[in-house]
Every structure is written in structure tokens, then in C-alpha cells.
Amino acid sequence: MADLFFDTALLPRGWARDVHMRVDGGGWIATIEEDATPQGARHVPGVAVPGVPDVHSHAFQRAMAGLAERGAPGGDTFWSWRERMYGFLESLNPDGVQRIAAQLFVELLERGFTSVAEFHYLRNDAHGRPYDDPVEMGRRILSSAERCGMGMTMLPTLYRRSGFGDAPPNADQKRFVASVEDLLGDIAVLGAGAAAGSVRIGLGLHSLRAVSPVDLTVTVEAARGMDPTIPIHIHVAEQTREVEACLEATGARPVEWLLDNAPVDDHWCLVHATHVDEHELESLAGSRAVVGLCPTTEANLGDGVFPLAPYLKARGRWAIGTDSHVGRSPATELRMLEYGQRLTARVRNVAAGPQHRSTGRALLDGAWSGGAAACGRPIGRLAPGSRADVVVLDPDHPTLTGRAGDELLDSWIFSGDDNPVRDVLVGGRWVVRNGRHVLADEVAGEYRAAAYELSGASPQLDIDFE
């Protein structure tokens, strides 16, 4: 049991003063009182807001961030980036992935993310063979999450083909491939060992190009037989080439095909969905699925810009993810999301809509509620029964000085790159104090060794200054 007293907190009904929060031994918010007195509770100065869910992560790609930024004679696209990614993962092993994931989780937590949906398809060894423990890689990522205090929705991901028309996987994709039966076994095994409260096991379907209609149907039905509310995530309509290939193979656009042929509902998360037409947008909003937007990765890969304004008008649900981890902050992702809309429409405050409301608040409200739904966990709210995931902003930080109410959120997102996150609790456990993760130095040392091993460089940095 933890007894906490916050000067200011953002509760579901709005901003509140003098908030007394009791957290039970399992990491859940037991009670909340407003206009309370400390009564022996631990005083936590600052502004308490819900932790932000990250709904799309490939943890191993944290170590690749910044390594694909060179031009190519024929031009550089998502598809050429993918070839570089395939080459990068050839040298990854479970020890390295565990260290990379820990570094990632430390960085995400320090910036205000408190839960991650890990879209996990790096299953096999470098030869394409399962490890002696087929879920070795998944266990390593879960171990790093537990160690660092990161909430987790683990999504073992089905990957069966290299393109539409049942094209077999190519050699570069050998580390991803498993049978439907093996993938369902992974879900069952990881679920049996999942830490109660802090971990949820879901299902990942890599994409329509990598999963056949038959495999999709069988896998979803079987997974829902194991857990009727299992979170289901899929990459969809990220690139125009994918849309064109889907049209040629099926006669339908990817989101259109998915909505017509799969039981898409409020337990699904469609990642990216960048290239959708008006009909798809309306149907997607009506399905109550969450769109998982990853703005910095989508910008980095040249994917395009999701049509947020009409989607919001249709009352569609959405959330944010960090995907390839070229950005690792909720403020960065939300700012990029809003700025992409402004550049496209040439207007300001798109997420706020026509109402006289805070854009920062509108963005965070979407990320909190949509993120909780996509992760399949009771998070994103400071309320009894929710996970005690709390981000404490420093009101004396220059970014926030003199701000109050929703101005604090606007300034967190739109006032530069300085980080005003001071403290973070996940499941009632202190993981960040005074802006630093409690294991930051230890984890960074381990990550440093893994990064040098991957690069083949020495710690002295053998740099050619020619």
C-alpha cells in the first residue's frame, strides 16, 4: 500500500487540487480524494497526470535509430530502409535484444511513457530456427520491462509470407516466420507466465501482405477462443505500394478489405492506416478500432500523413506509438502528429477542432483513452481501479513555469524539447526520480556494450577524420 498526496492532479473529471491517492499492494489505485489533507501521506510536489501508453514498438530497432540516414543513387524509400533493417537484425541475439529493450524502456519512462505494446516478430535465431525455448526473445523483452518497471502488452506476431498471393517468405525474413500453431503456442506460454497486472498478452498480425486471409481468420478465431477480449494489432496501409498490391490481389484497399473480412472491433489496433480514402475512414471510425499513429517513424520513413481532422470529425479513436524509436517521447510524437496536420492543411490547432479547447489536452486525451483500449489494460486514467501509472511534471521547470491547468499540457508538448517530467510511478513503483530512471546508469553501461558489439567498433571510437 502506498499513500500519496499530490498538489495538483488531472483526474477524469478535470484538474483537482490537494489529491490524496491510495495505491494497493498490487499496484492499483484504491481510492482518490480531492481537496484532502495529507494525513500522513507522502507529499509529492508537482503536477500528476496519467502515464502515456505507447501502442506500437519494435524494441530491437532502438539500436538501429540513426543508422539508415544515407541517400541512395536510386532514391531511398521505406522499402530500401526495410532491407537495411533486415541486415541489421542478422547479428542480434537474445542478450543484445534484452539490453537494447532495457535501454529503450528507461528512455521511454523518463519521458512519460509508462506502458508499451511490443509488436514482437523477431522470434527465431539468425538461421531461422526457433530457439530451444521458442519464446526466448519474448521472455527477454518481458524481463527488461519487469526490471525497468515498464507496463507491457506483448504481441507475438504472425508472419507467414513475403507478399500478396502467398509468396513464400524470403531469406531475409527467416527470423520472423512461425506456423499458426506455433504462434498460438507462444501466446499461451507467455500468457501463463505473465505478471499479473503489469503484463497483457495480445496477438500481432504483421500485415495483410505477410498473413494470408485463411491464416488471419484461423488465428483470430483461435486467439479469441483463448481470450475473448485479446488485443489484436496489425500494420495496415502504411505505404502506397502496399495499397496498390492489395488492390491488385484482392480488388480492395487494405483497410477496406480488413473491415469487410475480419471481425474488427474495439479490441483491434490498426497501426499506421496512413493511406485511407473517405469511405475507409468513416468505416474505420465506426468500427471503434484504434488507429495506432507513429508520427516520427512515419515521417522518418516517408510514409505520409494520416488524415486526422476528418477522422476526429467521425469520432474515430486513435493512439500513439514510437515504432522504430527514432522518437522516444510522448511530447515528440504528439507534436509531430499535430504539426503534420498543420503543414498539410495550412491551419493551426487541428486536434482541438472548432471548440475553444487546449490542443495539448485534446492530444493527450486521445493518446490516453485510445492507448488504454489498444493495450487492453486499465491505464491512462487516475481513478480507482486503474493502474497506478503516474507522471509528475515539474511546475518549476522553465518549460512549465507560470502555467496552470491545460496550459501545462500545451507547454509540455509545444514548448521545445526540454523534458519537464520529474518523477514517474508505474504500478505504484517509483521508477524515475528527479528526471532520471533509477537504473539509468546501470542499463546504459549494458546497452553501450551491446551497441559496440553490434557495430564492431571499439569503445575508443575508431573514427575516420579524413
pLDDT digits (tens, 9 = 90+) for 400-423: 999 999 999 999 999 999 999 999
Question: Do residues 55 and 376 touch, judged by C-beta distance below 8 A?
Answer: no
pLDDT at 166 exceeding the cut of 80: yes
Domain 2-50+383-441 has CATH 2.30.40.10: yes
Could you read off the pLDDT of 261-281 as tens digits, one per residue?
Answer: 999 999 999 999 999 999 999
pLDDT at 361 exceeding the cut of 90: yes
Identify the pLDDT of residue 457.
Answer: 61
Residue with cell 527477454: 140
The beta strands (E) that lie in 353-458 are given as: 390-393, 421-426, 429-433, 436-437
What is the rounded average pLDDT of the residues 359-385? 98
Q: Which residues contact 448 (CB under 8 A, 6 or more apart)?
A: 459
Q: Is 20 a catalytic residue?
A: no
What is the rounded average pLDDT of the residues 234-263? 98
Identify the pLDDT of residue 465.
Answer: 34
Give me the catalytic one of 58, 206, 235, 272.
272
Q: Is 58 a catalytic residue?
A: no
What is the rounded average pLDDT of the residues 181-202? 95
pLDDT at 445 exceeding the cut of 60: yes
Identify the pLDDT of residue 464.
Answer: 45
pLDDT at 461 exceeding the cut of 60: no
Give the separation between CA 410 and CA 170, rounded to whole angstroms. 46
What is the rounded average pLDDT of the residues 336-349? 98
Question: Do residues 197 and 26 touch, judged by C-beta distance below 8 A?
Answer: yes
Buried b or exposed e, range 187-224, using 16+ CB within 10 angstroms: bebbbeeeeebbbbbbbbbbbbbbbbeebbeebbeebe
Give the separation between CA 439 and CA 431, rounded to whole angstroms. 8
The pTM of this model reads 0.97
Identify the pLDDT of residue 340.
Answer: 98
Q: Which residues contact 172 (CB under 8 A, 6 or more apart)?
A: 83, 86, 87
Q: At what angle do helices 94-111 and 136-148 cross, to 10 degrees?
A: 30
Domain 52-375 has CATH 1.10.3470.10: no
Task: Between 458 and 347, name the one with better pLDDT.
Answer: 347
Q: Determine the length of the chain.
A: 466
pLDDT at 132 exceeding the cut of 60: yes
Task: Please report which confidence band the pLDDT of residue 228 belongs to, taking 50, 70 and 90 as the band edges.
Answer: very high
Q: What is the DSSP letter of 355?
A: S
Give the separation between CA 435 and CA 109, rounded to whole angstroms. 10
Buried b or exposed e, range 393-406, using 16+ CB within 10 angstroms: bbbebebbeebeeb
Could you read off the pLDDT of 38-68 as tens digits, one per residue?
Answer: 988 999 999 999 999 999 999 999 999 999 9
Q: What is the mean pLDDT of the chain?
A: 96
Give the separation between CA 260 and CA 256, rounded to whole angstroms. 6
Give the separation between CA 82 and CA 105, rounded to whole angstroms. 23
Identify the pLDDT of residue 356.
Answer: 85
Task: Please report which confidence band the pLDDT of residue 10 belongs to, taking 50, 70 and 90 as the band edges.
Answer: very high
The answer to which of 289-303, 309-323, 448-462 has the lowest mean pLDDT is 448-462
What is the rounded average pLDDT of the residues 379-406? 98
C-alpha cell belonging to residue 415: 514548448
Give me the catalytic one of 323, 394, 406, 410.
323
Its sign, for the CA torsion 37, 43, 46, 47, is: negative
Q: Which residues contact 346 (CB under 8 A, 6 or more apart)?
A: none
Q: Is 414 helix (H, G, I), strand (E, B) or coil?
A: helix
pLDDT at 197 exceeding the cut of 80: yes
What is the rounded average pLDDT of the residues 72-90? 92
Identify the pLDDT of residue 443.
Answer: 98
Domain ranges of the chain: 2-50+383-441, 52-375
Could you read off the pLDDT of 84-125 as tens digits, one per residue?
Answer: 999 999 999 999 999 999 999 999 999 999 999 999 999 999
